[in-house]
C-alpha cells in the first residue's frame, strides 16, 4: 500500500468524495460559504479542471479515443497540474483548500474501469494527504435517482459505455456506479475516509461536516494570506 505523508504546510486541505449523486458538491459549497463568512481564506479546486489538459480531454471524449489507462493518465496529469498551481501554494500560505474530489476519485473510477489498484495508487504517490477526506455515502438507488432527476441524459464516459457492460446507458451507469461504490467502501479503512451518511438531511450533514472541520481550524488561519508569486 502506498503511504501518503502528512503535509507540513500551515494550511488545511479538506476534500469530498462519493459517487455521482451522493451530495458531496452541495455540501462542499455550503462549507465554502460558511468558512468565507467566518473570515477564513479559502481556495477551491475541482476535479478535471486544469486548463493544461482540458482541450485534449474534450477532443478525446468527443472522438471516444480513451482507454482506461489513457483516461487514468490524463486525469493524473490534470491533478498534478492543479496540485502544483492551485493546492500547494495556498497551503504554503496558510489558507484552507477545499477539493471537490481528490485522488480517491481516481482510485475508485480507474479501478472500476479495470486499472490495477496498486498501479493507480503509485501514479498518485506525489499527492499530499488531506487534513480530512469526507466520503458521502449514499445507497446506489438513491444516488442514481438524484442523477436521473437532475440530468436529461448521460454522457458516454459518464455512463461507462466505453466498457461494454451494457448496451443501455442507464444500465451501464448503474453497473459503473456500483463498482465505484465498492471501491470507495474498500478505501474507508485503507485511507481513513470520514464517512457521512448521504441520506440524512442536508442541514444535518453540513452540521456534522462543520463540527469535524472546526477541530482543525486555528485563529491564525484568519490572518491575511499572501500567496507566493
82's enclosing H/E stretch is helix 68-82
Please indicate, yes or no, if residue 142 is contained in any of the structural domains. yes
Domains identified in the chain, total number: 1
User: Which residue range is the domain that position 99 belongs to?
Assistant: 12-219
3-state SS of 172-226 is HHHHHHHHHHHHHHHHHHHHCCEEEECCCCHHHHHHHHHHHHHCCCCHHHHCCCC
Q: Which triple of cell numbers denotes residue 162? A: 466505453
The confidence score (pLDDT) of residue 219 equals 59
The confidence score (pLDDT) of residue 223 equals 54
Please indicate, yes or no, if residue 74 is contained in any of the structural domains. yes
pTM of the prediction?
Answer: 0.90
CA distance 206 to 214: 12
Please indicate, yes or no, if residue 3 is contained in any of the structural domains. no
Please indicate, yes or no, if residue 49 is contained in any of the structural domains. yes
Please indicate, yes or no, if residue 65 is contained in any of the structural domains. yes
What is the chain's pLDDT, residue by residue, as a tens digit (229 residues)? Answer: 455 666 789 999 999 999 989 999 999 999 999 999 999 999 999 998 888 888 888 888 888 888 999 999 999 999 999 999 999 999 999 999 999 999 999 999 999 999 999 999 999 999 999 999 999 999 989 988 888 888 878 889 988 999 999 999 989 999 999 999 999 999 999 999 999 999 999 999 999 999 999 999 975 565 545 555 5
Please indicate, yes or no, if residue 187 is contained in any of the structural domains. yes
Please indicate, yes or no, if residue 209 is contained in any of the structural domains. yes
Q: CATH number, domain at 192?
A: 3.40.50.300
Amino acid at each position: 500500500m502506498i503511504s501518503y505523508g502528512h503535509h507540513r504546510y500551515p494550511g488545511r486541505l479538506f476534500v469530498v468524495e462519493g459517487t455521482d449523486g451522493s451530495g458531496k458538491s452541495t455540501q462542499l459549497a455550503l462549507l465554502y460559504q460558511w468558512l468565507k463568512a467566518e473570515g477564513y481564506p479559502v481556495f477551491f479546486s475541482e476535479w478535471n479542471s486544469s486548463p493544461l489538459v482540458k482541450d485534449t480531454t474534450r477532443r478525446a471524449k468527443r472522438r471516444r479515443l480513451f482507454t482506461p489507462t489513457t483516461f487514468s493518465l490524463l486525469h493524473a496529469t490534470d491533478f498534478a497540474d492543479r496540485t502544483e498551481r492551485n493546492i500547494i501554494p495556498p497551503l504554503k500560505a496558510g489558507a484552507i483548500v477545499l477539493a471537490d474530489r481528490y485522488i480517491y476519485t481516481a482510485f475508485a473510477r480507474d479501478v472500476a474501469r479495470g486499472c490495477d489498484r496498486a498501479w493507480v495508487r503509485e501514479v498518485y504517490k506525489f499527492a499530499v494527504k488531506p487534513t480530512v477526506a469526507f466520503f458521502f455515502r449514499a445507497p446506489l438507488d438513491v444516488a442514481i435517482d438524484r442523477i436521473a432527476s437532475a440530468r436529461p441524459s448521460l454522457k458516454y464516459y459518464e455512463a461507462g459505455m466505453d466498457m461494454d457492460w451494457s448496451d443501455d446507458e442507464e444500465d451501464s451507469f448503474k453497473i459503473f456506479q456500483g463498482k465505484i461504490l465498492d471501491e470507495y467502501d474498500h478505501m474507508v479503512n485503507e485511507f481513513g475516509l470520514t464517512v457521512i451518511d448521504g441520506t440524512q438531511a442536508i442541514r444535518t450533514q453540513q452540521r456534522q461536516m462543520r463540527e469535524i472541520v472546526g477541530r482543525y481550524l486555528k485563529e491564525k488561519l484568519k490572518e491575511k494570506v499572501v500567496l507566493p508569486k
